Each structure stands twice: as C-alpha cells, then as structure tokens.
Structure 1
Amino acid sequence: MMLSVVFAGLGQLYNRSYLKGIIFIVIEVAFLVTLLESINFGLWGLRTLGTIPGTDHSIRLLVFGVLSLIGIVLIGSLYVFNVIDAKKQATKIKEGWKPRKFKEAVKHFYDYAFPYLMTGPGLVLMTFVVIFPLLFSVLLAFTNYNLYNSPPRNLVDWVGFDNFTNLVTVPIWQDTFLSVFSWTVVWTVVATTLQIAVGLFLAVIVNDPRIKFKKLIRTILILPWAVPAFVTILIFSAMFNDHFGAINRDIIIPLFGGDGIPWLSDPFYARTAIILIQTWLGFPFLFALFTGVLQSISSDWYEAADVDGATRFQKFRNITMPHVLFATAPLLIMQYAQNFNNFNVIYLFNEGGPPVRNQNAGGTDILISWVYKLTFDTNNYSMAAVISIIMGVIISAFAFYQFRKTRSFKEEGEI
C-alpha cells in the first residue's frame, strides 16, 4: 500500500498484479507528462481570472479551471482506488491468496470490469454535458460577468456573494425577483393542478360503464397531444391577440361589446390565457395516463362498495383516488417540476410580456424565461447564473422531498 502511495501501480507490481500495476503506472505517467502543466495553468486561471486586460480571457480561464477541477477529481479518485486496491491485495496475500497468471488476470479483469467499461463512456459524457456546465454556472454566479465586464477587453473578477445580496437588496432586482418568483409558483401550482384535474375528471367520466363510443371520445380528447406544442401555442397567440384575435373579434365583442379583453397587454389577462393554454396542452397526456390506471382497478372493489352502500363520492375518494395517486404520483410530481421550468409556453405566447414598470422582467415571465432574457437580451450572465442556482435548489429540494414521501416508493401492501 505504501508503494502505491509513493507512485500509483508500484503496490500492484509488488503484489504481482502486473496488469493492474501497468495500467496505474501508465495513467500516472500520462498525467505527470501531459496534464500536470495544463491543470496548474487551469488552477491559476481559476484563482485569478486573468491579470492582463485585453490579453487574458477570464471566461476561457474559468472554463480551463473547471476542467482542471474535474481532472483533479478523476485522477484523485483513481489514485485513491489504486491505494485501496493495493491494500486489499496485500491482505488477501497474507491470508494465502495467490496472484492469478496473466491470462487469468486478463479474463478476470474483463469479467469484473465489463459493467464499468459499458457505463464509462456514459459517465464521461455526463461529466462534460451535465457536471461541467453545472459547475461553470455555479462559479459564474460569484463573478461580475455582465455587459460591462466582458472579456477580452475587460477582466472578470470574483465578487463573492454580492450578486446574491443584490438580488434581495437592490430595489429593481428585489421587486423583479419577488414578482417573478411569486408568479412562477402560482403558475406552477395552478396550471399543473388544473391540467391534472381536467385529465382526471375526463378519464373518470369516459371510464363510466354507461358511456358509449369510448374509443371515439378518447381519440378526440387525445388529439391536442398529437399536435406539436409550439404550433398550438402560436395559434393561440394569434387567437388571443388584442386587435385581430378570433377570441375578441368573434366571441367577446359580439357578446359583450366594447373593445374586447386586453389578453396580451394586461398582465392579469395574459397570465390567465397562459394558464388556459397550458391546461389545453397538458390534459391529454394525463387523461391517457389516468385512463390506463382506471382500467386496471378491479371491478370487485366497486361491487363491494356498492354492497356496503357507498356513494359515488365515497367510491371515488376511497378507491379511485388512492389507486390513481399510487400509480401516477412520480409522474405528477414531474409535471409540477416540468411546468416550473416550462419555457416554451411563456416565450412563444408573448415572450414573457407585457412590460412591467420598474422591473426588468415581463408580466408573464417565470424564472426560466427571465434567465433567458438576462442572458441573451441584457448580457447579465452572473445574475442569470444566480437565479439558475436558486431554481435548481428549489426544484431539487421539492423533488427530493416529494419522492421521499410518495407512497409509490413504499411497500405495495401499505395501500
């Protein structure tokens, strides 16, 4: 074990596990020869974010720094594994275990490492597609990277928690954040709950034995799901237009007179329209989901309830709902999480508008669309990263708590 601490692979060679020893030695030599200097440069860039304006590119240095951290973690993990493996081998040798011959060692290594060889590429891909952007965004939140501090002309500096403090103390940021966050919560709860309620209500009605032409009705109710969502949203955007939209021109004005409802220019009506659109888009999937669950409930339960004199509401409350929630709770939780970050409806309908006085977000902007505007419209990258972190924490905490409490993850006998 001490030999492996001094240099990776020496302990394996001493224990006569030559294949492992050679692999570890090659990895450490490659690290020392090719990666050590790059990692040192990356850590310097991560610490300083550059020292010469116009020459050092702070964001590029931040990228190299994040890659250096990932490299250190990977190499460190392999180094620790090398030490632990050498110790385990030494313990086995003391107990009388004899090292395998080369061919046996190769076969054993292949059999043992096959799952790791198959999942390795996926792990590497996840590292650079998920972990790297996540670390980069988190670190970006602690800088002053914005339109006025953009490399290479200017350097980006570390500012600590100043961005988080500004979000809750500077009036324009505070007012906008509270408004957008509260609307995001309302949007998530109301829109998702409404689409779940509509889907469940229609599924229960269609599942009633007295209903005829069930296949036709189910086909019609699932049709909105077959149309691409962005097409539906753009059509509704035109229909809700204040001036030439069909809803105002053909329904509201002929029936009630006046100039119609300001669907796109008033925040309240714009939010109402967006909730209705999301309900239309979301209920077909839930209707199909609930329909399958309802058909799996044994009719014996309802017959026993009829014998006991249960009402329709009691059968729904004590038989239908528990079974539906038991089977679909994880998917329903995902619906809430998805709508919390539902960018498409907000942006395609009216791009988060209408404008709101003394705020840098629109009346229907949720957190994710606000982050988009901060990133691409005003180039306030650091504040966008702060809000992204807050969104990630909220969704992670909510999902973790709900999944822990969901009965779908407990024993089926508890239902």
Structure 2
Amino acid sequence: MNRHRNTAAVLSVLFMGLGQLYNRQLIKGLILVLLEAAALAYFVPNLGTAVWGVATLGENTTRMEKINGLTQQVAGDHSIFLLINGLITLLIFAIFIVIYVMNVKDATKTGAARDRGESPANFRKTLAYVLDRNFPHLLLTLPGLGILFLTIMPILFMILLAFTNYAAPNHIPPAKLVDWVGFETFANLLTMKTWSHTFFGVFAWTLIWAVVATVTTYFGGLLVALLVEQKGVRFKKLWRTIFILPYAIPQLISMLIMKNLFNGQFGPINQYLSYFGLGGLPWLTDPLWAKVTVIVVNMWVGIPVSMVLIMGVLTAIPKDLYEAADVDGASAYQKFRIVTLPFVLFSTAPILITQFAGNINNFNIIFLLTGGDPVNGSYQYAGSTDLLVTWLYKLSLNNNQFNMASAIGIIIFILIASFSIYNYRRTKSFKEEDMIQ
C-alpha cells in the first residue's frame, strides 16, 4: 500500500534528490542531487577542520624557525579565524541539514500521493506553487540568511568569546593562542577585586542613570505636552516646533555643542555664571557634577521625544470623560490623576519600558559628552560616568580585553531581556491584548 512512499523516503535519505527522481520529478531531483554534490565537495574537506578549530582553537603559534639555514617566520594557527570560520561552516551545515530534512519530507509526501493514485507535480507546477503559496517564504529567505550570518553568527561569536581567555597581552593571535576557560571570565568579573569593584560601580551607575534618565524625560515630556495642550495657550504649532528642535538636530552636533557649553575653562555657561560672581562649576571634570550634567543634557534631547508621543495620546482621550468629570465637580488635578495619567500610562507603558532598556545602552550621550570621564583611579579601564556599554567599548576597542567585554555584553543582554519581558507582560496593555485575543 505504501510502496512508493517508503521507497521514495529511503532513496531521499540515501542521497538527496533520489526520492524525487524515483517520483519522476526529474528537474527537482537533479537540482537536489547537484546541491548535495556541491555540499559534499564543501563539507568533506572543511567540516572536520571546522569542528577541530572550534574545539581546540588551534595548536601551533606563529614562530621563527631555521629553514635551509635561514631564520623564517612560520605561520601558526589563528584562534579567532578558526572560531569564525568554524562557526560559518557549522551554520552552513545546519542549513544543509534543514534542506535535507525538507527533501525527505517532500519525497515521502509525493510518494504517498502516488500510492493514492495521484500524479506527481511536474517542475512547472512546483515552481508555480512556490511562487504562489510560498511566495512570502521565498522573499523572506534572503533577509533570513542575512540575519543568520550578519546578526546571529556575530552574537554566537561574542557569546563564545566570553568563555575564552582572548585578552591582551598574553592571548592575542597570531603570536599567542586563545584557549577555552569555561566560566573563568565571569568569575574574575564578579570576584576578582580589580574587576569586581569596577563592574559593580559601573553597574550601579548604569541602573541609576537608566531610572533617572527615563523618569525625567518621560514626565518632563508629559509636563510639556500638558502645558502646550492647555486651552488658553496660543500659537500651539509654534511651541511644538520649538520643543521638537533639539530632537530634530543630529545628536552628534548637539552633544559637541553641549560639550563646549559645559567646558569648565572657556565654556559660555561658566563665563555667564562668573558675571554674577558665582564662579565656575566643574561640569565635566568632577564625578558628581559630570553625572548631573549628562542627566540634564539627556533631558534636553529626550523630552521632545516623550512630548510628541504623549501629545498623540492626549488627542485620543475621549472628551466625554472630561465632561463627566466636570459634571462630578472634579478639580484639574483630579481629572489629571483619574483620567489623563491612567490613559497615558496605559498607552505608553510599552514605550516606557523600551526607553528604559534604551537608556541602559545609551552609548551616544555618554561617549559624545564625557567619553566616560572623569577618570576614576580605582576603576579598571573605566571612568566615573561610564555605563556598561561604554565600558564594554573601551575594553574591546581600546584595551583588547575581548573576553571580558563579551561577558559584560552577555550580562547586559540578560539584564535588559529579563526586565523588558517581565515588565511588559505585567502591563495592562499586554494583559488586555491577551483578553481581546
């Protein structure tokens, strides 16, 4: 009863495309046969080397040897190249396995159709089916491959680096090899005094910064939006335009201007204060004042975003609610607390969570305004205003501490993902969406 089905399945397992050839799908079968032949030509010499490279990260360093009486440099294994090439090969092999499984399923399904007395689809019908029913999947294949090799593969590479000793000065290829060290990097980050003191200090400031920056910009934007939308305010379009300008100007330009304005020696702000005999303030050179400065500047950049968002929400609040509140004799504060604020929070809670997550990784403000400075002598490669993300940047690009930077990147991801998922699922907008579905 299942003769064609079983035969096609066995043949497609033995060699990709044979099941299709058995089912009289010649063009499809030949394409699959050629695909496996090309895969075998690639994997036979490369797959074993890829597995060996990922497992060992190399065995021989670049060294000087005497060859025919002359001292010459002999190239050794480059641990990082072996890891990258191994990852690429293994990902291509995973794609091939998926295609192989699909080939077996396709041959089995067509064989079962033949057992029922149906004719197998020819290549033209198969192509028409793909271009019709599976057209979205066909279009998504290219960006999917791009995400796999340009996003997922670098993330996997970064994660794997955290479990190696890839750091200056002793383990930088090609002069030295990189070794797998397990969780030693994380243990050093959390327990070794020179690293743990920096990590917990920067981590605490990152959380403080994220909370303060999110709260100030969100509620600052809410305040400005409420003031602009008041009934007695004239020239509303002009006020909206003025308040959106800081956001419209490229952030690089804004931060460079702010950096000059807050300069302690020749900055206009300190010069202005000196006219009143107040003296200058160490805006960017004192640890405390530098943190205050980046928060204030972030308000300047971030409040317009929240203002525009909340203005859109305010226009969507039903006027009937305010009319009912007026009938009940509610004051302006009561209308804000009972009607406006709950409605705004309900609509913008997911955006608020996103802003908090974004502020944890707010690289631009810190890097462009202070560069993480002022210098903190008790920190390892970090300044007083460095966030985890800017510290990661310094560790990797400036100091070649790649394994430690990767470990911090993993911690940042766990922190943001855990907070975002937990709080998003607790928001009323998420719960009510589930109820609607």
TM-score (norm 1): 0.94
Identity of aligned residues (%): 44
- State the match for 1:190 in structure 2: 212
- State the match for 2:231 in structure 1: 209
CA distance in 2, matches of 1:201, 1:380: 44
- State the match for 1:44 in structure 2: 52
| Worse-superposed segment, 353-362 or 268-277 | 353-362
* Equivalent residue letter for 1:23: I
How far has the Cα of 1:394 moved from its partner? 1.4
Q: Is the 8 A contact 1:233 1:349 kept in 2?
A: yes
Q: What is the alpha-carbon root mean square deviation over aligned residues?
A: 2.0
- State the match for 1:100 in structure 2: 121
- State the match for 1:279 in structure 2: 299
Task: Summarize deviations over 1:211-264 as a string: whole Å, max 9, x none.
Answer: 12211111111111121111111111122222222222212x44463x532222
CA distance in 1, matches of 2:14, 2:173: 42
How far has the Cα of 1:201 moved from its partner? 0.8
CA distance in 2, matches of 1:375, 1:228: 26
CA distance in 2, matches of 1:384, 1:96: 62
1:368 aligns with 2:392: no
- State the match for 1:14 in structure 2: 22
* Equivalent residue letter for 1:44: W
CA distance in 1, matches of 2:349, 2:10: 52
How far has the Cα of 1:277 moved from its partner? 0.5
Q: 1:53 aligns with which of 61, 66, 70?
A: 61
CA distance in 2, matches of 1:200, 1:156: 52
Task: Summarize deviations over 1:298-351 as a string: whole Å, max 9, x none.
Answer: 211210111122222232223222322333233222211221111111111121
Q: Is the 8 A contact 1:145 1:156 kept in 2?
A: yes
How far has the Cα of 1:411 moved from its partner? 4.1
SS state of the match for residue 357, structure 1?
coil
Cα separation, partners in 2 of 1:16 and 1:305, compared to 1, 3 Å:
farther
SS state of the match for residue 133, structure 2?
helix
- State the match for 2:426 in structure 1: 405
| Worse-superposed segment, 311-320 or 160-169 | 311-320
- State the match for 1:77 in structure 2: 98
Q: How do 1:85-164 residues align onto structure 2 when only pairs under 5 Å count?
A: 85-148=106-169, 149-164=171-186
1:67 aligns with 2:88: yes
How far has the Cα of 1:291 moved from its partner? 1.0
* Equivalent residue letter for 1:308: D
Cα separation, partners in 2 of 1:211 and 1:235, compared to 1, 3 Å:
same
Cα separation, partners in 2 of 1:186 and 1:4, compared to 1, 3 Å:
same
Q: 2:11 aligns with which of 3, 24, 46?
A: 3
Runs of 5+ consecutive residues of structure 2 not aligned to the other structure: 1-8, 63-75
Runs of 5+ consecutive residues of structure 1 not aligned to the other structure: none
How far has the Cα of 1:12 moved from its partner? 2.8
Q: Is the 8 A contact 2:425 2:431 kept in 1?
A: no
Task: Summarize deviations over 1:77-133 as a string: whole Å, max 9, x none.
Answer: 112222233333344444444312343233223323322221111111112210111
| Worse-superposed segment, 225-234 or 178-187 | 225-234
Q: Is the 8 A contact 1:19 1:106 kept in 2?
A: no
- State the match for 1:298 in structure 2: 318
TM-score (norm 2): 0.89
- State the match for 1:199 in structure 2: 221
SS state of the match for residue 151, structure 1?
coil
Q: 1:357 aligns with which of 373, 377, 392?
A: 377
- State the match for 1:167 in structure 2: 189
Task: Summarize deviations over 1:370-409 as a string: whole Å, max 9, x none.
Answer: 0111112211111111111111121222222233333334
CA distance in 2, matches of 1:340, 1:33: 47
Q: Is the 8 A contact 1:355 1:363 kept in 2?
A: yes
Cα separation, partners in 2 of 1:310 and 1:85, compared to 1, 3 Å:
farther
1:32 aligns with 2:46: no
Cα separation, partners in 2 of 1:319 and 1:53, compared to 1, 3 Å:
same
CA distance in 2, matches of 1:326, 1:244: 46
CA distance in 1, matches of 2:234, 2:26: 74
How far has the Cα of 1:412 moved from its partner? 6.2
Q: Is the 8 A contact 1:19 1:105 kept in 2?
A: no
How far has the Cα of 1:41 moved from its partner? 1.6
| Worse-superposed segment, 24-33 or 167-176 | 24-33
SS state of the match for residue 28, structure 1?
helix
| Worse-superposed segment, 33-42 or 279-288 | 33-42
SS state of the match for residue 100, structure 1?
coil
Cα separation, partners in 2 of 1:320 and 1:26, compared to 1, 3 Å:
farther
Q: Is the 8 A contact 2:28 2:123 kept in 1?
A: no
Q: Is the 8 A contact 2:130 2:138 kept in 1?
A: no
CA distance in 1, matches of 2:42, 2:435: 58
How far has the Cα of 1:13 moved from its partner? 2.8
SS state of the match for residue 321, structure 2?
helix
